[in-house]
Amino acid sequence: MNLIEKLGLTALHKLDPERAHNLSIQALRLGLVPLPGSPITSDRLRTRLAGLDLPNPVGLAAGYDKNGKAVAPLMRAGFGFLELGAATPRPQPGNPKPRLFRLEDDAAIINRFGFNNDGAQIIASRMATRPAGIPVGLNIGANKDSSDRAADFAEVVRIAGGSADFLTVNVSSPNTERLRDLQGPQALAALLRDVIKARDTLSIRRPVFLKIAPDLTDGEIADIAAVALEGGVDGIIATNTTLSRDGLSSHQGSEAGGMSGRPLFDRATVVLAALYQATGGTVPLIGVGGISSAEDAWQKIRAGASAVQIYSALIYKGFPLVSQIVEEIDQRLSGRGMTLTDLRGSGVSDWLHR
């Protein structure tokens, strides 16, 4: 990170977190953020994820660019893929402010946005005009006031699915009341059937991913794995934010909402490893939760991830973190004479016995 980037990040941290977030999106749109341009890649880094060709395995998690306002510059930030959203069928304002909190002592974030977004139609129109390049997916959710939240997911697919390269079913956000109830095996199986049925009406087949919570028992993880295997899901993203507050020291740690960032890393990685074991490595997994270094990304892949996503660490380290992680993974693979396939799942037992 150069001096200008450090000064910019410091200035943003003096502002209200949500205002700083919105300003960072605007800075990207105006070309004020230095970006590498083309995605960083090599023969070692290129990977195929559920039919998607990624130049590298490091992606942007959903939640940063909810509305697809900065998709073009983000495609030049060094990522191997992006995920926008969450999008709901109708626009909604989300929960009352304040709803985003920095826990700087813990390198963590708490948010309770509640799926604030411009609605699937507007987001789809923005995605449709993006330049060619890396895969860009859409995280999909349900409106807070919907009478049939399960049906909302299929509706977003019908509205916006044709503009996305993949679709992520988000039943794991803790900020929409009772949304996580849809992770139960019967409800989840029915929801996924409807989503995949809607997906199959699109002119081009889009992979469907499922994003799960870290706050699951071993039995719930096994149930989700079974539903995913039977339901034709193309991949699982592990994990979303957590309701746990274990080990926090920041005074804002008691705020309601989902926590992301460094304290989530271990639990999210254990869930990832458990999913890899439960699925026998047959379902591509995307590891997310607490990644702030190349070592963290390395461990997610060892725990079974085919690709990883970052978000919260960008708030503390800025966009240069993307290149740092990608380049160091490439160097490590080269130095060890390994491929991503060799690395994937090689440390599952280590994580399951922590």
Q: Which residues contact 74 (CB under 8 A, 6 or more apart)?
A: 28, 60, 64, 65, 82
Q: Phi/psi of residue 183, each to 5°?
A: -80, -10
Return the sign of the alpha-carbon dihedral for residues 246, 250, 252, 257.
negative
Q: Which of 172, 173, 250, 306 is catalytic?
A: 173
Q: What is the DSSP letter of 137?
A: E
DSSP for 297-332 reads: HHHHHHTT-SEEEE-HHHHHH-THHHHHHHHHHHHH
Other beta carbons within 10 Å of 217: 8
Other beta carbons within 10 Å of 338: 13
SS3 15: coil
Active site residue 24: no
Pick from 236, 173, 172: nearest CA to 208: 236
Q: Which residues are catalytic?
A: 173
